[in-house]
Chains A and B, each alone.
Chain A
Amino acid sequence: MIVWGTRSGKFAAEYAINESEPQIELEQIKMYKEKIMRPLKKKNGTNIIQIRKKLKKIAWEKIGVIRDGPSLKESISEIQKIIDFEFRNISTTAKNRRYNKEWIEALEMENMASVLLITAKAALMREESRAAHYRRDKPKTDYDKWNKNIVIKKVKNKPELKMVPVNITKLHVPKGVVHYGVVR
C-alpha cells in the first residue's frame, strides 16, 4: 500500500501540473478550511482519542456481529449525538500541522462516524438476517420481502436510505422465509 500510495501521489501531481485550474467555489473552500483547521485552533476541547474509544465501544457492543433492533436504535442516536455535538469541540494537543496524529485522526473520525451511522441505519432497516447481517430479533432470511438492496444517498447532510429491488438476470433466487444459514 505504501508503494501504491507513493506512485498514485506522484502521478496525480504530474497530472495536476499539466491541467488547467477548474472553477472553484471560494465560499466552500473557506468553509472546509475553517472546519479542517478548527481542531488546531481550538483550545481545551474534547480529545479525539476519547471520541474514538466511544465510537469503538458503540460499534462493538451495538452494531457488532449479533445485532438487534433496540440496540441498533440506541446506537443511531448515540452516534448522531457525537456527530452533532462532539465533533465541533475537538482540539488537538500539538497545534502545528507537522505529522500531527491527533489531527489526522480528527479529520478521519467524521468519516468513521458516518460509516457507522449508515451501517446502523441500514441494519435497522433490514428486518431479517442474511449472511454477515444477523439480528436476534429477526433471525430468519426473508426472500419475499428482502430480496432488496439498500441504497444510501446523502441528502442535506444526512443519509437517506432506499430499498431497491435486485435486478435478477441468471441466478435463481429462492422464495419464502427460511432459517438463517440454510443454502438452497
Chain B
Amino acid sequence: VNNLGENKNFNVKIYRFDPDFDEKPQYKKYSIPYEEGLSVLNVLKYIYQEIDHSIAFYSSCRIGKCNGCLMTVNGKPKRACTTPAKKNMVIEPLKNHEIIKDLVVKFQ
C-alpha cells in the first residue's frame, strides 16, 4: 500500500539459472510493491529479502562507481544501482559472460 492508500504493485521478470540443478535458464515473475524512486537494485534486494532468498546478484558501492552490479535490463547493459525500475522490466545477466548463478557472472 503506498502513501495514497492504493495497493500498487508491478511485475518484473528475472532470469534464473543455477548450473548445479537447471538444464536451462528460466524466467520467473515477481510482484513488487511500488515506491517512488526504486532502482533495479532496490527491486532485487526486495525480492531477496521478502520473496525469494535463493536469488543471486552482486552489488557493492550502490552509487554507480564500481560496476559490480552490471546486468542486462530490458536488453541493454546497465548498472542495477543507478537504473530506475520500470514495470514489466526484464532483468538478465550481462551478455557474453560465463554465468555463475542467476545474475552473477564471471568478470575477467
Contact = CB atoms under 8 A, between A and B. Distances in A.
Interface of A: 1-2, 47, 49, 92-94, 96, 98-102
B53 A49 contact: yes
Contacts, number: 43
A2 B56 contact: no
Given A1-B66, A2-B67, A99 B100 contact: yes
B87 to A, nearest CB: 25
A92 B53 contact: yes
B56 A101 contact: yes
B2 to A, nearest CB: 22
A86 B51 CA distance: 22
Interface of B: 18-21, 48-49, 52-58, 60-61, 66-68, 100-102, 104, 107
B18 A2 contact: no
A100 B56 contact: yes
Contact of B53 (A2, A47, A98, A99): A47
A99 B101 contact: yes
A96 B18 contact: yes
Given A2-B107, A99-B101, 20 more contacts: A1-B61, A1-B66, A2-B60, A2-B66, A2-B68, A47-B53, A49-B48, A92-B53, A93-B53, A94-B53, A94-B54, A96-B18, A96-B21, A98-B101, A99-B56, A99-B102, A100-B56, A101-B48, A101-B55, A101-B57
